[in-house]
Amino acid sequence: MVKRVAVTGAAGQIGYSLLPRIATGEIFGPETQVRLQCLELTPALESLKGVAMELDDCAFPLLTETVCTDNLEEAFEGADLVLLVGSKPRSAGMERKDLLLDNGPIFTGQGKAIEAAAGPNVRVVVVGNPCNTNCLIAMNNAKSVPADRWTAMTQLDHNRAQAQLALKAGVDSTEVKNIVIWGNHSNTQFPDWSHATIGGKPAADVIGDDAWLKNIFIPTVQERGKAIIEARGKSSAMSAGSAALDHARYLFQGTPDGEWTSIAIVSDGKYGVPEGLICSVPVTCPGDGTYKVVEGLEFSDFGQDKFQKSIDELSAERDTVSGLL
Ligand code: NAX
């Protein structure tokens, strides 16, 4: 069976790093053919055509077809997976609140079109920022699509946290397991090391430097996107595309035994997150498109306070966009 993957903002920089990796089977495995359904704004269609030509030139064995369109329903038609990447970037001096209101209408329209056109088992991953609240908007504009189909990406933050601990401990990143990103994909997120292990031992014991964890590790992960922009002159794209693949691969191929990842999902009230918010929590994925929240993790007072700040931000964002829900 051919899996249909819709990607919005496909001519952008994340799209450019994401599309070839979808086409090589990284999400659905090396046996499954894929059809790419790329959505762009009309002025970017010519550039998208160039990307599609390059995809042709790669002669990927699993890629059956690349659709390029500015029509929402054509892009989402029968989709098994929708990656909502495209959105307006934040311009200099723009407040987060203005960005939310600017991008909101994109996600009302995309939510409605997903409801109208996507496949019956569609999974949605929102990458375009502010991704938690954009996901909230799309989900609320597609009420017949079950709420557990909608996710937003904090996998990049998860991967960044894993890498920072590995660098500090001087080990391979695969030695670091079970970080949690709690909250919003913003600089209020709480990258939590307290349940993580490094080489099978508690991460806090291996690092042995509480001040570093609290005062260096947390802001480094929170502000990593800004640091990349300062160094590269452009926002993260390779790492963001890679994280989107990880996120989708975990959904469709599962998380490794004994490990979890972080995904922003709709809250049912667990961990004190108000119902209906799209909040990042630890989840395990069996590999059939579903996920299960890891329950029973405890917080220190320090951690609880950090998480609450991010929950409060998500609640305020929901208030800001209430007219779009
Ligand atoms: P680019 O500006 O390179 O590409 C965005 C593309 O989206 C453009 O080609 C544009 O024409 C298209 N687009 C805009 N509005 C659209 C619409 N309504 N329908 C279809 N296409 C539309 O940005 P890029 O670097 O690819 O980043 C894309 C989004 O990812 C941004 O919102 C960015 O903030 C967000 N990010 C999210 C991350 C996360 O961890 N969740 C990390 C990376 C990234 O910052």
In this structure, the answer to whether residues 76 and 180 fall within a common structural domain is no
Instruction: Report the CATH number that the domain containing residue 248 is assigned in CATH.
Output: 3.90.110.10
- The number of domains in the chain is 2
In this structure, the answer to whether residues 170 and 305 fall within a common structural domain is yes
In this structure, the answer to whether residues 117 and 177 fall within a common structural domain is no
Q: Which domain holds residue 111?
A: 2-152
Our answer to whether residue 185 is catalytic in this structure is yes
Instruction: Among 152, 184, 211, give the residue marking a domain's end.
Output: 152
In this structure, the answer to whether residues 141 and 167 fall within a common structural domain is no
Q: Is 290 helix (H, G, I), strand (E, B) or coil?
A: coil
Instruction: Among 120, 152, 184, give the residue marking a domain's end.
Output: 152
Distance (Å) from CA 88 to ligand 1 centroid: 6
In this structure, the answer to whether residues 137 and 11 fall within a common structural domain is yes
In this structure, the answer to whether residues 307 and 162 fall within a common structural domain is yes
In this structure, the answer to whether residues 228 and 272 fall within a common structural domain is yes
Question: Which residue among 87, 151, 247, 279 is best mutated to probe the pocket of ligand 1, counting the most ligand atoms within 8 A of its Cβ?
Answer: 87
In this structure, the answer to whether residues 168 and 144 fall within a common structural domain is no
Secondary structure in 3-state letters for 36-82: EEEECCHHHHHHHHHHHHHHHHHCCCCEEEEEEECCHHHHHCCCCEE
72 Cβ closer than 6 Å to some ligand 1 atom: no
> In Å, how far are 5, 7, 196, 289 from 19, measured between CA atoms?
10, 8, 32, 20
In this structure, the answer to whether residues 263 and 281 fall within a common structural domain is yes
Instruction: Among 124, 152, 180, give the residue marking a domain's end.
Output: 152
In this structure, the answer to whether residues 6 and 132 fall within a common structural domain is yes
Atom number in ligand 1 closest to CA 11: 9
Write the residue with the smallest CA distance to atom 42 of ligand 1: 240
Cα gap 140→63, rounded to integer Å? 32
In this structure, the answer to whether residues 89 and 208 fall within a common structural domain is no
153 Cβ closer than 6 Å to some ligand 1 atom: yes
Question: Which residue among 91, 129, 141, 242 is best mutated to probe the pocket of ligand 1, counting the most ligand atoms within 8 A of its Cβ?
Answer: 129
pLDDT in tens, the chain (325 residues): 899 999 999 999 999 999 999 999 999 999 999 999 999 999 999 999 999 999 999 999 999 999 999 999 999 999 999 999 999 877 777 777 888 989 999 999 999 999 999 999 999 999 999 999 999 999 999 999 999 999 999 999 999 999 999 999 999 999 999 999 999 999 999 999 999 999 999 999 999 999 999 999 999 999 999 999 999 999 999 999 999 999 999 999 999 999 999 999 999 999 999 999 999 999 999 999 999 999 999 999 999 999 999 999 999 999 999 999 9
85 Cβ closer than 6 Å to some ligand 1 atom: yes
Question: Which residue among 38, 41, 224 is best mutated to probe the pocket of ligand 1, counting the most ligand atoms within 8 A of its Cβ?
Answer: 41
8 Cβ closer than 6 Å to some ligand 1 atom: yes
Instruction: Report the CATH number that the domain containing residue 132 is assigned in CATH.
Output: 3.40.50.720
Distance (Å) from CA 244 to ligand 1 centroid: 12
Its pTM stands at 0.98
* Residues contacting 11, CB < 8 A, separation 6+: 38, 40, 44, 45, 47, 48, 50, 51
In this structure, the answer to whether residues 33 and 144 fall within a common structural domain is yes
Please identify which of the residues 158, 185, 195, 247 carries the catalytic annotation: 185
